Structure 1
Amino acid sequence: MKHLNHTNDDAISFISKIIDNKSEKADKEILRRRRKAEEIGSSKPNELTYQERCHSILDKNKKSISDYDTDFNNDQWTDIKLGIPSVTITEENDKTDFKKLYLYRNNYIQELCNDLRKSNYGEWMCPICQVTPVNSLDHYIPKTKYPLYAVHPRNLIPCCTTCNGHKSEKVVEEGKRVYWNAFLDSVEQRYLYCDIILENGIPTCNFSTKKGDLSDELYKVIKTTFDDLHVADTMRDGVSCFVTELRDSIVKNLIKNNFESLEQCICVIKQLYQPKNVNDVRKVAQLALLDSPAFLKVVNDLVSCKNISSMDISPLIA
């Protein structure tokens, strides 16, 4: 799991921009009736367009929206209120209107995605599993229960649909977060581990977590996220190609660099795979493979195959 830099865009301004960019078909008829009323000098119909309704909700709930940032900055989630705290029409109507503000392909949402990508040095892999490209935004506080934060910029976290789909809507307990928040959480100590097991004769990466030197509170967040979102399964599937890639890389290096032994080659490659981030899933998997007798046997069997040469090996390189 990784940390991401978040946007500092003002939430009220950002939400207001999205409201101004949205409309409904019924709005044309509402505006038509207004114009007609003006033409004949009668009173205007007492009905609001979609934009007007949403702006009204926004105006009445500015404090609650600001409270999100207060809780976010303090990482104490005590002011997050269900539904729409200050109702303008009816609670269900207000909820429906604000939930509809979110659309992943909305221009301003995509602009937010692009800004987040730039501020994170172009990195666009899911911060939870690290193996799947970002293709959605996770509403950390779910929009179904908390529609007021449906397009709050600090509540929209880049994620893959697999991890996003497994996340429960119960994200806060007694003011404490249950799940990893990539905008807030960052860990330097190691917690991610990988064992290599054989499945149908093929070395497979089996991921797990260990508390180590982490605080009880932080490890609980990591473990709950890892378990509830089935992160081990996603990681295992995502790194399945590493077995073949690493095998072929070792054999290619043996031939190209004339190593005296497989052990010498492995030792050199290990130095190249030392991670800056000790929880980098790709590096954790690669180092586990390099230490695995089962994987090294696969490599050794290929090296020992009849007449391995540079010509023989070229088709094996990914």
Structure 2
Amino acid sequence: MKLRKGKTKSILDASIDSALLAVEIYNKPRTTFRSEGFITMMIMAWTRLFHAHFNSTIGDKYYYKKKGTNRYDVVDGERKAWELATCIRKYGELPSSVEKNLEFFIKLRNKIEHRHIEKREVDTLIFGECQSLLFNYESQLINFFGGEYSINEALVYSLQFSQIRTNNQEKANKSALSSDLAEIVSFVEKYRNKLDDATYNSQEYSIKLIQIPKISNTNRADAAVEFVRWDSLSAEDRKAYEKLNVIIKDKTVKVEAANVGRLKSSEVVKRVNDALKKKAITQNLHVALYKLFKIRPKNGAEDPFDTNAEFCLYDEPHNDYVYQDAWVSFLVHFFQVSQLEPADLRLKERNGEVLNVEDYKM
């Protein structure tokens, strides 16, 4: 249906403009706040899309009311419109995987709102979810208002500068994670790990792409990039895809379960003492240190996953914690530069003090 001029059309136009601006921000080569900008504009696009739908179906009634009254909640003289999470709940007809994708970005937006993340690792990490967020938006746009509002012709596959990275480059990037970025990566891993396999593997939650250069085209007029629908593949092609999928599948829970390269607390103590060539740390002092630097929650905490992922990770199958090599390096440096004695550290821990990791980093 083609909308005439009016409030619904104005809201819908603003929604589409927000989505297109999100794509423009994401695809600009010099953008340093790519993820933040894309997520912010797409949340706005989705919210306005729902508002346009509600305006055309139930009228101008998508606003919060004061508790226990029929009066609208007013902020700065304007009625407070439903936020995206409320819109999703009020609509109540989105597929579960689409809801999970939106929930992921609502929570992630809140995480990054007060952080400035310049590194591109987050962009790479959440590319699949970003692509699904965009695809789902257009599908819902067409569902609400018809194919006339399809915007796919305005979008182009973005060009890539860098070649496939080596293992050493990946390790260097991971070791350079800031504390803010490590927290974001930890959140993404936790969220994904809580999803059931059906949701995680769905295209509505996250688009998984295998980028393989095409050696040649039979027809020179063919497009350089082709997107193939799963349901259009032959049984033989599906089997071939599944083999590739097993090779590249990277759901974090399967990697973390193996605890490759992770250390128990006793190994941390041994490595620190070996590096310093003296008994600088004991198991008890190690407990005081992880509490002082708040790299992990206390035993029995409500959210055991709330760790500083740069230094420590929660091992769910064994219900304990494992530590990263970076934690050993940090502690060695800390004892080399700090004037604090073990007795001082224990006293600070007993008094509930907290030490800032950034003050003691190399």
Please give the TM-score of this superposition, normalised by the length of structure 2.
Answer: 0.26
Bigger Rg, structure 1 or 2: 1
**Structure (1 or 2) with the greater strand fraction:** 1
Q: TM-score, length-normalised on structure 1? A: 0.28
Instruction: Compare relative contact order (CA 8 Å, sep 6+) and give the higher one, 1 or 2.
Output: 1
